[in-house]
Amino acid sequence: MNFEKIKSDIEKFVSNRKWQDYHTPKNLSMALSVEASELMEIFQWQMENEKAYPKSASKEQVEDEVADVFFYLVRFCQIMNIDLEKAFYYKMKKNAEKYPNQIK
């Protein structure tokens, strides 16, 4: 994954469609939640312990929603001047301290 290219491609995609004015923190955080909900909807009626793709959805549908979530997360970070990679690893460090390694 070339994250710098992805970020650049997203900026170009948004700019070419003149969507910048719509990309406020409120709108993007809501769009991120909506796309995460679309992902959840695919698995909504699965049994708790099922691990496969549901019969009602293709892998491509799941991939589409994952990509939508990723788009809005990256775009939200762009407009909020958040270094996503740095934020991710900092939070992982905090998670590791909160949830210690169980394998000795």
Binding site for Mg ion (CB under 5 A): 35, 38, 65, 68
* Through-space distance between the first and last CA atoms of the chain, rounded to whole angstroms: 32
Q: Which is nearer to Mg ion, 11 or 38 (CB)?
A: 38
Q: Which is nearer to Mg ion, 35 or 74 (CB)?
A: 35
Q: How far is the CB of 14 from Mg ion (least distance, A)?
A: 16
Distance CA 93, CA 104 (A): 18
Q: How far is the CB of 45 from Mg ion (least distance, A)?
A: 18
**Tokens encoding 88:** 């991710």
Identity of the residue numbered 66: V
- Locate tokens 């099922």: which residue? 50
Q: Which is nearer to Mg ion, 35 or 73 (CB)?
A: 35
Q: How far is the CB of 74 from Mg ion (least distance, A)?
A: 15
**Are 64 and 38 spatial neighbours (Cβ–Cβ below 8 Å)?**
no
